Amino acid sequence: MTDEENCNTSANRSLLDVLDARLSRRNALRVSLGGASAAVLSACGGGDTATAANAGPTAAAKRGPGGGPLRLSFEAVAKSTADRVTVPAGYTATVMYALGDPLDDATPEFRNDGTDTGFETRAGDHHDGMEFYGLHAGGKRPDRSGSVRGILAMNHEALTDQFLHPAGSTPNPRPVAEADKEIPAHGLSFVEVRKQGGGFGYVRGSSYNRRVTPLTPMRIHGPARGSLLMKTKYSAGGTDCRGTINNCGTGTTPWGTFLTGEENWAGYFTRSATDNTARGGSTSKSVVSLNRYGRSQGAASRHGWETAGADDRFARWNISQTGASADGTDDYRNELNTFGWIVEADPYDGTQALRKRTALGRFAHESAAFGIPVAGRPLAVYMGDDSRGEYIYKFVSEAGWNAADANAANRITTGDKYLDAGKLYVAKFNDDGSGRWIELDIANPAIAAFAAYDFADQADVLVNARLAADAVGATKMDRPEWCAVHPVTGEVYYTLTNNSNRKVEPSGSSQMAVDPANPRSYADAPSTSAGNVNGHIVRMKESGGDGASTVFTWDIYLFGAESGADPVKVNLSSLTADQDFSSPDGLWFSPRTGTVFIQTDDGAYTDVTNCMMLLGRPGQVGDGAPQVLQYAKADGSMVSVRTHVGAKPTPDTLRRFLVGPVDCEITGICETPDGRAIFVNIQHPGESISRATVTDPASYLSHWPGNAGYGAGGATARPRSATIVITRDDGGRIGVDGGHDDDRGGDRGGHRS
Ligand code: FEO
Ligand code: CA
Ligand code: CA
Ligand code: CA
């Protein structure tokens, strides 16, 4: 692909106009491919040429009557602490798939009083990342451009366990009946949804409906398959494993499969207080690895499932070394190594085993976002590791992209082709606005010479990617959450949600100093403890627009802040009351409009507003200016940090679109291919609840969605995580009007009258 700079030479059109025109050409080709996602396009240059040659009359048809420049077209939603979902005037949000909803006809309706069982055939808890997979209107086969029926694939990250039982969660030892509800309430849902009236509903009894749980058999793929590190009592060959847990962000592949990231999995496992000795002492490799991933000896498990009984489905949550074998095939000492991966599933085919893609590295995964595929070139997959001071990664496939694979008949083996062999990189941000991708390879001298851990082979590097990234001096970031790729520029955006350990003068090994890519440390009254309280969004531009590049430039798209905060030290993006936000987490670009959806998981601004979703129309790296932040040290001397701030948003380029109910997180966002419906997840409303008060509805912080008329319980209901669908009352595209792709007034595809 040609350099992005060469594509943007027009002197008379705004950047957003240029992006809009490119989007139009891209969308035209998408249609001509039958909806295959971004199959062969580069962001500019050759991509545009290919489009012009191939799109033919479709392009003109899709441009339709036009409607001026593409623009955000809704009135900003005000901040709110109301226990409801608020969307702009002219939009409707409808609850459609909540915790406990039955997937088949045999499972009873959800009573929502803690007595419900059988989560293997119900919606799980804590809805998180989510993707839409179109079905033909007849519902019998995949149709990637289908907007009338589809499959929602989503994560169920965690539990509000108190609400799953009549009188809350029983302390250890855990009753079998409680553990057997809690374990399968995690995992994934695949659920058919179908247009009903102006909105969507889920299809109970659809043959596409299924749950994946922490007990579902899966295959280990990539370089760590069969490794000594992966051998367990369950799989002596180290080739198989059971289940996925704490699934947070998602991704969708160019060949139509679903990717799910395993995030805070370590906390589900316990280690005995003497396990270091059992493993050969505190400097033994497995102990160094376990400590680096958050499981020091004596750590308690989050839910105590290992106390529910001797059966293997409970015993595996205790990862202490108890067996006599040399290789760990008689206990679960290596069980933790089977978690922390990007996992691939075929949403259309439940007969295919899910695959853990070890080539992409093991850490606290969020989303997995593909760079724009270019025919013949490797694919890039961007990923983040969400913990304070962790890193930003990318995987570059060995195989070059073959556009025909967008419609491959066997999707999961297509995944083998692209995701089982390649290079894993970690990002280093330089002070001057440049950056470097450092390969995590066993042959890298810094990895071979690393004193803290003696890597045996490439499987060891991938299983212990955090340690390998330590070895090469990667940049510690402010908790990388989701990443997303701009569908036209190909630039990569990462939410950095917040970091209480970011300091001007760090002390101890867990704190880190302000730096150009993580430049803020300030207190948010009444707290006097400084850190990156509100988070920011960094973006990166690969050299030459090539996802396989090892150098990039970067700036900071947005700094989260309260609109009234200090404009010199905190509100660096000059956010107004219609735009201000804190703790960005979910992040996704509409491939159709290039609009970015920013979702929050916040605890800092929640005295003023519940968590929210904003829509933005970003420019590109370098559209702003450098800025120097000055900090006074305790001894009176000054520290200067020079960062790179992107163009400040205007009311036309960033607006709040949604505010959620009380004590929730907004996460998970996808749309129908026609852009007329979006799906959003409301995670854990009213999650702050104790065993002591769970039987008293007056103590609940939230009663949503019962108080919105959904399901049992009404105004005093136990709160439930749920998927909502948002449509526009005039049938238009969500959030935007105009643009070269504007087809208002055309066929609205069966929209309600
Ligand atoms: Fe599950 Fe980092 O959010
Ligand atoms: Ca998240
Ligand atoms: Ca989060
Ligand atoms: Ca949360």
**Are residues 513 and 404 part of one domain?**
yes
The structural domain count of the chain equals: 2
**Are residues 518 and 398 part of one domain?**
yes
**Are residues 370 and 322 part of one domain?**
no
**What residue's CA is closest to ligand 1, atom 1?**
248
Print the domain residue range for 298: 270-338
Answer with the one of 338, 364, 379 that is the final residue of a domain: 338
Rounded to the nearest 10 degrees, the angle between the axes of helix 15-32 and helix 46-55 is: 50
* H or E element in which residue 151 lies: strand 149-156
DSSP strand pairing (551-559 vs 612-616): unpaired
Query: Of the bound ligands, which one is closest to the alpha carbon of residue 586?
Result: 2
Q: Is residue 710 part of a domain?
A: no
Q: What is the DSSP string of 153-181?
A: EEEE----GGGGSBTBPPPSSPPHHHHHH
Query: Of the bound ligands, which one is closest to the alpha carbon of residue 611?
Result: 4
**How far apart are the CA of 84 and the centre of ligand 1, in A?**
23
Q: Which residue has the higher pLDDT, 140 or 524?
A: 524
Q: Which residue has the higher pLDDT, 37 or 248?
A: 248
Q: What is the pLDDT of residue 336?
A: 98
Tell me how far apart the alpha carbons of residues 267 and 410 are, in angstroms, rounded to a whole number. 35
* Triad 467, 468, 473: Cα angle to 5°: 95
- Between 52-56, 321-325, 502-506, the lowest mean confidence (pLDDT) is in 52-56
pLDDT band per the 50, 70, 90 thresholds, residue 23: confident
Q: Is 258 helix (H, G, I), strand (E, B) or coil?
A: strand
**How far apart are the CA of 736 and the centre of ligand 3, in A?**
27
**Are residues 318 and 374 part of one domain?**
no
CB of 262 closer than 8 Å to CB of 339: yes
Q: Is residue 548 part of a domain?
A: yes
* Triad 381, 123, 307: Cα angle to 5°: 90
**Are residues 396 and 356 part of one domain?**
yes
**Are residues 487 and 465 part of one domain?**
yes
Q: Over pLDDT 70: what percentage of the chain?
A: 90
Q: What is the pLDDT of residue 741?
A: 60
Q: Over pLDDT 90: what percentage of the chain?
A: 88
Judge whether residue 417 has pLDDT over 70.
Answer: yes
CB of 340 closer than 8 Å to CB of 262: yes
Kindly state if the Cβ of 263 falls inside 6 Å of ligand 1. yes
**How far apart are the CA of 247 and the centre of ligand 1, in A?**
9
**Are residues 484 and 623 part of one domain?**
yes
The overall average pLDDT reported for the chain is: 92
Kindly state if the Cβ of 390 falls inside 6 Å of ligand 1. no
Kindly state if the Cβ of 48 falls inside 6 Å of ligand 1. no
Closest of 539, 517, 679, 702 to residue 613, by C-alpha: 679
**What residue's CA is closest to ligand 1, atom 3?**
248
**How far apart are the CA of 583 and the centre of ligand 3, in A?**
8
CB of 52 closer than 8 Å to CB of 21: no
Fill in the amino acid letter for 124.
Answer: G
Q: What is the pLDDT of residue 739?
A: 84
Give tens-digit pLDDT for 267-319.
Answer: 999 999 999 999 999 999 999 999 999 999 999 999 999 999 999 999 999 99
CA distances (Å), 505 to each of 286, 332, 570, 632, in order?
32, 41, 18, 10
Tell me how far apart the alpha carbons of residues 77 and 657 are, in angstroms, rounded to a whole number. 6
pLDDT band per the 50, 70, 90 thresholds, residue 21: confident
Query: Of the bound ligands, which one is closest to the alpha carbon of residue 126?
Result: 4
Q: Is residue 443 part of a domain?
A: yes
pLDDT band per the 50, 70, 90 thresholds, residue 140: confident
Helix/strand/coil percentages in the chain, nearest 5: 15, 30, 55
**Are residues 397 and 293 part of one domain?**
no
- Between 84-88, 684-688, 714-718, 744-748, the lowest mean confidence (pLDDT) is in 744-748
Other Cβ atoms closer than 10 A to 577:
12
Q: Is residue 662 part of a domain?
A: no
pLDDT band per the 50, 70, 90 thresholds, residue 197: confident
Tell me how far apart the alpha carbons of residues 350 and 207 are, in angstroms, rounded to a whole number. 9
Kindly state if the Cβ of 366 falls inside 6 Å of ligand 1. yes
Judge whether residue 398 has pLDDT over 90.
Answer: yes
Q: What is the pLDDT of residue 740?
A: 66
**Are residues 575 and 635 part of one domain?**
yes
Tell me how far apart the alpha carbons of residues 147 and 135 are, in angstroms, rounded to a whole number. 8
Q: What is the pLDDT of residue 28?
A: 52
User: Mean pLDDT over residues 636-645, rounded?
Assistant: 98
Answer with the one of 338, 368, 395 that is the final residue of a domain: 338
Q: Is residue 431 part of a domain?
A: yes
Q: What is the pLDDT of residue 26?
A: 62
Fill in the amino acid letter for 291.
Answer: N
**Which residue intervals of 607-737 are DSSP H helices?**
none
Q: What is the pLDDT of residue 41?
A: 25
**Are residues 483 and 445 part of one domain?**
yes
User: Mean pLDDT over residues 721-733, rounded?
Assistant: 97
Tell me how far apart the alpha carbons of residues 654 and 77 are, in angstroms, rounded to a whole number. 12
**Are residues 566 and 629 part of one domain?**
yes
Kindly state if the Cβ of 131 falls inside 6 Å of ligand 1. no
Q: Is residue 692 part of a domain?
A: no
Q: Is 366 helix (H, G, I), strand (E, B) or coil?
A: strand
Which tokens is 218 given? 């899966």
List, in order, residues 6 or more apart from 197 with CB less than 8 Å away.
Answer: 752
pLDDT band per the 50, 70, 90 thresholds, residue 514: very high
Q: Is residue 48 part of a domain?
A: yes
Q: What is the DSSP string of 183-232?
A: TTTSEEEEEEEEEETTEEEE-TT-TT-EEE-TTSEEEEESTTTT-GGG--
Rounded to a whole number of angstroms, the distance between the first and last alpha carbons of the chain is: 45
Q: Is 365 helix (H, G, I), strand (E, B) or coil?
A: strand
Give tens-digit pLDDT for 353-392.
Answer: 999 999 999 999 999 999 999 999 999 999 999 999 999 9
Categorise residue 404: left if φ over 0, alpha if ψ from -120 to 50, beta otherwise.
Answer: alpha
**Are residues 390 and 325 part of one domain?**
no
Answer with the one of 606, 629, 651 that is the final residue of a domain: 651
Kindly state if the Cβ of 245 falls inside 6 Å of ligand 1. no
List, in order, residues 6 or more apart from 677 with CB less than 8 Å away.
Answer: 147, 195, 199, 200, 671, 725, 726, 727, 734
**How far apart are the CA of 261 and the centre of ligand 1, in A?**
10
pLDDT band per the 50, 70, 90 thresholds, residue 24: confident
User: Mean pLDDT over residues 230-249, rounded?
Assistant: 98
Closest of 491, 469, 475 to residue 369, by C-alpha: 491
Q: Is residue 93 part of a domain?
A: no
Q: What is the pLDDT of residue 725?
A: 98
**How far apart are the CA of 305 and the centre of ligand 4, in A?**
21
